[in-house]
Structure 1
Amino acid sequence: MSPIAVTSPNEPLRNLKQCAAAATPGLSTETCDALSFQGRVRAMIFGGAFGDALGAVIEKMTHQEIKDMYGKVTHLDVPWWRETQDAVRRKGRVRGRGIITDDTLMTICLMSVYCTEERHLDAWDVARGIIREVVWTPRYIPEMQRETMLQERLWYAEKWLFMRHQMTNCDPRQGGIGNQVNCGAAMYIAPIGAVNAGNPRAAYSEAIHFASAHQESYGLEAAGVLAAAVAAAFVPGTTVDDIVEVAIAVAHDGTKAAIVAIVEAARAMIGAPYDDVVVKFHEVIAKYSYTGDDIDYTIDKAGVPSQAYRPSRFNSIEELPLAFGFAITNKGEFYGSIIDGVNSGRDTDSIGVMIGCFLGPLHGASVIEKQHLDMLNSANHFDLLSNADAFGKVARKIQAEDEEEIHKVLQARKQLA
């Protein structure tokens, strides 16, 4: 990653490599206890990146289209379905063979903000930290095959951050108001779950406060619920069912209803043929999601309203419930869950990211296969384990400070009459 060129009024911002050098001198990036906090952080970052790269190859294809072209995508070394299209239709991008999307790059940006601030984050850290990372920090963008600002690559709902926080200087807590309601904030929220490992409600609260600068309605809710699920996944002995129960416990409105509905369907279909599972899941989620199979934005859709622009308490982004569903039908198996999730079609990279981010810490670093890690590092010009270790060290520091604060609170309460 390139050094950050912009400085704050008080101190230089530090990227993850600088943070790693300062915080973890001599730390090996080759070995660690697979089920230690460090090992679980590594698995979370790897899981998200693997799901992202695997799903990016087939994003926006239907389940049937994926079957017709690929059979089933099961590994990273495959070509993108748009690869033979002209550059205009591809928006000048390349994918396939391990290339990740902005979902993983935004996750790395969030980890970098944590490494800079070394504390819990809120909406102001989007307005300051994420904006500096996205708009003013050059980095290698794999899909564009060059170094530039991440802002140039982002989807429109994420470009909204620049418009709201830099161009209009809004109250950071109101930054998400008016944005397209989508899963954009949820896609990079996993580090908040790691910082709050073992405390899902705290993860939910921090994620909601932070992501209110980015999303609203059920798009914001998805970020909070996923952060809670990740926090739960770090607890030793946790199962997929435990993670799902935590998600249901913290969720509200359509998000809660959609998760419950998909989970019920998933538990009834364990062992069923995969195609039948996909059909059933899409049938169930249709009540809560406007998406459907046609998720390309075309000229014919200009000016046509949808549920995405009419937030309702009965709506939910579909990626999060589906991620839980495929984890259940695969009984929590890491690779099987991700593979089934992305091959179901539609917003495939997002589904893959979500599954990887909560199943990674559940299993720990033992799920990291060298061939996949090497391809991800090579294709994207980064070092996932170094990034994970730098962030994990800072997360531990924040957790230690939390424990001190909790002790003070308990001592104060003991003195109350």
Structure 2
Amino acid sequence: MTPKSPETNLEDRITGSLVGAAVGDALGGPVEGYSPDQILERHAGRVHGIVGPWNGDAWRTARPIAPYHKGDGHVTDDTLMTHALIRVYAKVRDHLDAYAIADHLVPDLMTTPRWIPELEQEALPLHRVFLAEKWLVTRLHYAHVDPREAGVGNIVNCGAAMYMAPVGLVNAANPRAAYTEALDIAGAHQSSYGREAAAVFAAAVAAACTPNATPDSVVTACLSQAKDGTRTAILKVCEAAQHHTDFESALKPLREAVAPYDTVGPDYRSPSLAARRPSRVHAIEELPIALGMLLVADGDYRRAVLGAVNYGRDCDSIATMAGALAGALGSPPPETWAKQVSEASRLDLWEPATTLTEVTQEIYERDVRRHETHKAAVTALGGPRCAD
């Protein structure tokens, strides 16, 4: 892996992860939904940086169901949702749960116009997010469903996982805590393996923030938390990734490794009838592939993200996750990419990282006080009994 500077601290890891996620999102957006072969043909080679929309100047009308300017450095809903979750942390200034999503995230999506890069205008984030995210508003605002159960009935996809990096960062170096918190948060949005993936991704980011972490240690942390098909899919993809050091040779083997667990099927734009339904034996595709590309790249940001981008399919989310993990490991995105994405998207990519760093410090100090209070109480009770 690209050596980390000895000065790399938690603030650097948080910044690298969040900026890295946004840059990966922007690079993957214009080729989302296509296969590696289609990407190769469209771009006369592999994508090695920021590219324009798939349909050029016809981006607004070529796919009327999705009239978005994907490309030219524009972030997508992955980043919009990530930043929205950080704003919730900034309000609550403590660990979150499903109720925080109902009380803070949903109103943010519904009431506050923001600059939406893909629409090239100010709009409510609700008007850009995918239907699986609009579900949050339908279930929590209109239907008044218990937030802990609101995700039940939604399509099972990566919708919750794609913006869970902040949960891992708030719980830096504590994968189990990140898993538990994300599992609660994601209950408002997803169920089954979609919810599980959100929790495991948060655990992965937390593990990446551990001193001397490596891609292998991140995968080990994921496997220690993951359940059912999610765990098996990660294991199989990462076993396949161990045989490759270049994403080109890994594209097909990684897809073959995840295919038995992916419900979408071979044609990403025409999902099978079994797609996105609850299951204990299946998994979302995005997280295992992001971890696989992290291994192939040995933690190097550029190589991991470009592998994710050129994999195609839901590659903006895959690159978001790979970018978040590489950045948390201490391999930040190239400055030129980050600057281009920030300017093109008209977003300060560093401000959310500054905010989350401050909140993370506050939460950590509060956690220490809570632990000391608990410790004192147990001590006053005579402490746990020791075995004879």
- TM-score normalized by the length of structure 1: 0.87
Higher deviation after alignment, 81-90 or 367-376: 81-90
Could you tell me which runs of 5 or more consecutive residues in structure 1 were left unpaired when the two chains were aligned: 1-31
Match of 2:274 among 297, 301, 306: 306
Structure-2 separation of matches of 1:37 and 1:87: 40
| Other-structure match for 1:381 | 346
Equivalent residues of 1:193, 1:200 under 8 A apart:
yes
Which letter does structure 1 place at the counterpart of 2:348? D
Residue 116 of structure 1 is matched in structure 2 by 91
Amino acid paired to 1:336: R
Is 1:75 aligned with 2:49?
yes
SS at match of 1:53: helix
CA contact (8 A) 1:46 1:384 kept: yes
1:229–1:247: 8 Å Cα contact kept in structure 2?
yes
What is the rounded CA distance, in whole Å, between the counterparts of 2:224 and 2:252 in structure 1? 27
Tell me the secondary structure at the aligned position of residue 268 of structure 2: coil
1:378 match: secondary structure: helix
Distance 1:131 1:314 in 2: 31
Q: Give the conservation status (yes or no) of the 8 Å contact 1:102–1:153.
A: yes
Q: What letter matches 2:353 in structure 1?
A: A
Any runs of at least 4 consecutive aligned residues in structure 1 with deviations exceeding 6 A, and if so which?
Answer: none
CA distance in 2, matches of 1:33, 1:328: 22
AA at the equivalent of 1:332: G
Corresponding position of 2:212: 237
In structure 2, which of residues 150, 158, 176 is the aligned counterpart of residue 183 of structure 1?
158
Say if 2:264 and 2:274, in contact at 8 Å, map to a contact too: no
In structure 2, the partner of 1:290 is 263
State the Cα distance separating 1:292 from its structure 2 match.
3.3
Secondary structure of the structure 2 residue equivalent to 1:140: strand
Mapping 1:16-415, distance limit 5 Å: 35-70=8-43, 71-76=45-50, 78-85=51-58, 87-90=60-63, 91-267=66-242, 269-271=243-245, 274-296=247-269, 305-309=273-277, 311-363=278-330, 367-415=332-380
The share of aligned pairs that are identical, in percent, is 38
Distance 1:39 1:86, change over 3 A: closer
Shift of 1:308: 1.5
Change (3 A) 1:355 1:274: closer
Q: Which amino acid aligns with 1:359?
A: A
CA distance in structure 2 between the aligned counterparts of 1:336 and 1:370, rounded to whole angstroms? 15
Q: Deviations over 1:350-398 (max 9, x none)?
A: 100011111111115xx24332222121111111112210121011101
Structure 1: distance between partners of 2:313 and 2:181: 29
Partner amino acid for 2:298? Answer: K
CA contact (8 A) 1:33 1:39 kept: no
How many residue pairs were aligned?
A: 375
1:72 shift after superposition: 1.0
1: CA distance between counterparts of 2:222 and 2:284? 14
Secondary structure, aligned partner of 1:173: coil
1:286-342 CA-to-partner distances (Å, cap 9, x unmatched) read 110022342225xxx7xx722422x21110001101111111111111110110111
- Secondary structure at the residue paired with 1:147? strand
1:19 aligned partner: none
Measured in 2, the distance between the counterparts of 1:86 and 1:131 equals: 29
Letter in structure 2 aligned against 1:374 = K
Q: How far off its partner does 1:162 sit?
A: 0.8
CA distance in 2, matches of 1:139, 1:33: 38
- Does structure 2 retain, via aligned residues, the 8 Å contact 1:258–1:316? yes
| Matched letter for residue 315 of structure 1 | H
Identify unmatched segments of 5+ residues in structure 2. Answer: 383-388
The CA distance in 2 between the partners of 1:284 and 1:406, in whole Å, is: 42
Q: Assess if the C-alpha contact under 8 Å between 2:247 and 2:296 holds in 1.
A: no
Distance 1:266 1:371 in 2: 28
Give the residue type in structure 1 aligned to 2:155. Q
Aligned residue for 1:343, secondary structure, equals: helix
Amino acid at match of 1:235: T
Deviation at 1:34, TM superposition (A): 5.6
Distance in 1, matches of 2:7 and 2:161, equals: 26
Structure 1 Cα separation of the partners of residues 153 and 67 of structure 2? 29
SS in 2 for 1:126: helix
Q: CA deviation at 1:263?
A: 1.0
Q: Which amino acid aligns with 1:241?
A: D
CA contact under 8 A between 2:25 and 2:319: conserved in structure 1?
yes
